[in-house]
């Protein structure tokens, strides 16, 4: 007969603490603490790692018990060496685990030690949260009033949705990518650029600089201060600019690589 779970450890990136706070609230409302289960979550006040202790020694001690590890996976998680080390340490010890993904992350992006098909949930999916609740209640033989659960769940979903929107907006970008270059004759070349505006504002490009290199190592630097070059909100469009090559030995027919820099300014959102 297996030992009873005595600790729930939430493995997450600190940049995802807003999401994780809501997950802890959902776990708390099930009543696991009354059943003697300890919640460990480094970013939640009252459940964090005690001050003046070595974080890795503390986690090592916790993992010696019968732990249920909950991974909150995101782009932030996979960028964190500490998180990946934690994932490896818990997986090697063959601990019971479940996986949550944040709203702007997808199951096909899961990699590493965890199995994406095993006990996986979405933080912004009501039915998946209900499945998780049933799993906790069954694990610890608990009862929970449906009205209480639904109130906390819906409040958490609203917070999660709001933060996910903020996160998506912060990740949106404005960029210009090099597409191609063509020799137009008479010492002229035409450069095709792709301007991408993922924000909700209009963007005016005020300066563009393009560094072109051919396979022989010849370089050509082109600069332009376009007039009235706008890219509207969430627009993706091609821009064509003609330049005089000057005295450069650069060959468009033997083009190798390009680098584009620019300056831009925002207008009011539409």
Give the residue numbers annotated as catalytic, written as ranges: 86
CB-based contacts of 88, cutoff 8 Å, min separation 6: 112, 113
Can you tell me the distance from the alpha carbon of 246 to that of 260, in angstroms, rounded to the nearest whole number?
Answer: 19
Strands lying side by side in the sheet with 174-185: 174-185, 188-197, 236-244
Residue 76, SS3? Answer: helix
Report the first-to-last Cα separation within the chain, whole angstroms: 63
Task: Give SS3 for 213.
Answer: strand
What is the dihedral sign for C-alpha 100, 104, 107, 109?
Answer: negative
Determine the Cα–Cα distance for residues 203 and 195; give it in Å rounded to an integer.
Answer: 10
């Amino acid at each position: 007969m297996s030992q009873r779970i005595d600790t729930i450890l939430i493995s997450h990136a600190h940049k995802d603490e807003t999401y994780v706070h809501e997950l802890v609230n959902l776990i708390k409302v099930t009543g696991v603490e009354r059943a003697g289960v300890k919640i460990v979550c480094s970013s939640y006040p009252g459940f964090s790692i005690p001050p003046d202790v070595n974080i890795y020694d503390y986690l090592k001690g916790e993992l010696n018990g019968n732990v249920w590890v909950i991974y909150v996976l995101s782009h932030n998680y996979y960028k964190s060496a500490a998180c990946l080390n934690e994932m490896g340490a818990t997986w090697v010890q063959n601990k019971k685990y479940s996986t949550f993904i944040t709203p702007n992350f997808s199951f096909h992006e899961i990699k590493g030690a965890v199995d994406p098909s095993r006990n996986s949930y979405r933080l912004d999916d009501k039915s998946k949260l209900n499945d998780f609740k049933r799993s906790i209640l069954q694990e610890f033989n608990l009862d929970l009033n449906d009205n209480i659960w639904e109130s906390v769940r819906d409040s958490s979903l609203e917070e999660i949705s709001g933060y996910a929107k903020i996160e998506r907006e912060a990740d949106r970008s404005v960029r210009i990518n090099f597409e191609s270059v063509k020799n137009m004759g008479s010492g002229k070349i035409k450069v095709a650029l792709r301007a991408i505006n993922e924000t909700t504002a209009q963007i005016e490009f005020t300066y563009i600089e393009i560094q072109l290199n051919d396979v022989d190592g010849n370089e050509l630097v082109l600069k332009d201060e376009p007039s009235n070059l706008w890219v509207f909100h969430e627009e993706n469009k091609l821009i064509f600019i003609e330049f005089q090559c000057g005295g450069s030995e650069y060959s468009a027919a033997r083009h190798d690589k390009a680098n584009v820099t620019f300056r831009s300014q925002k207008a009011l959102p539409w």
